[in-house]
Chains A and B, each alone.
Chain A
């Protein structure tokens, strides 16, 4: 059973471009979470999704950031018009119902 997959592992964007981060949860998992870790800081919750629904987006910045988890395919975290402050590691986690969260290896976004 493959673990949580994230791609790309590293992403470089110039200011103003769009970044799309993908997360494939573990097989059978219907809950997906996104977290952000700024350099030398702890992880911050961003958004919690179940299939086709956003359950909790209290940690998402109000502008430029969006997330989806369609019925088919991976969850996508989309950052429009990236700025240097968006440079961070973005981690996705998945769970099945009321169980522990399994984290992916992360996508490291660098904004030039």
Chain B
């Protein structure tokens, strides 16, 4: 079973920031947090991952709580192409299988 919990769906307006929350209360010190997203009719796509520190890349930012029991994926300026299901995943090793939960379906309003 997935070890993370996320809201089923969220809405955001185009060109506004989006904050997607994730709870991972059972996380251990060596577990990574990964985010993937799946656009309609496509395979999942890696977004970002982190261990303890906040992370930034060209797609998004990942803010990890100090106790590591939650994290937030931040899309700085949402576009219609960001409409997808976003999965927050906790993994024991970085090459471990991915246990997908239900994810958050993000709707972007024009």
* A residues neighboring B (CB under 8 Å): 4, 31, 33, 35, 42-45, 48, 56, 58-59, 91, 93, 95, 97-106
Q: Which chain A residues lie closer than 8 Å to B100 at the CB level?
A: 35, 42-45
Q: Which chain A residues lie closer than 8 Å to B43 at the CB level?
A: 4, 91, 93, 103-106
Q: Mark B72-86, 1 if CB is under 8 A from A, else 0.
A: 000000000000000
| Given A45-B97, A56-B97, A59-B97, residue A101 in contact with residue B46 (CB < 8 A) | yes
Q: Is the interface of B mostly helix, strand, loop or mixed?
A: loop
Chain A residue at minimal CB-CB distance from B99 = A45
Interface size class, chain B: 10 to 19
* B residues neighboring A (CB under 8 Å): 34, 38, 42-46, 49, 87, 93-95, 97-103
B45, B98, B100: most-surrounded residue (chain A CB, <10 A): B98
Q: Which chain A residues lie closer than 8 Å to B97 at the CB level?
A: 33, 45, 48, 56, 58-59
Contact B102 A99 (CB under 8 A): no
Bound-complex Cα distance A44 to B1 (A): 10
Q: Which chain B residues lie closer than 8 Å to A97 at the CB level?
A: 95
Q: Of B44, B46, B99, B103, which is within 8 A of A91 by CB?
A: B44
B28 to chain A, nearest CB (A): 17
A12 to chain B, nearest CB (A): 17
Q: Which chain B residues lie closer than 8 Å to A100 at the CB level?
A: 34, 46, 49, 94
B49 to chain A, nearest CB (A): 6
Q: Which chain B residues lie closer than 8 Å to A4 at the CB level?
A: 43
Chain A residue at minimal CB-CB distance from B42 = A105
B44, B97, B102: most-surrounded residue (chain A CB, <10 A): B97
Q: Of A43, A91, A99, which is within 8 A of B94 by CB?
A: A99
Q: Which chain B residues lie closer than 8 Å to A99 at the CB level?
A: 94-95
Bound-complex Cα distance A59 to B98 (A): 11
Contact B44 A43 (CB under 8 A): yes
Chain B residue at minimal CB-CB distance from A103 = B43
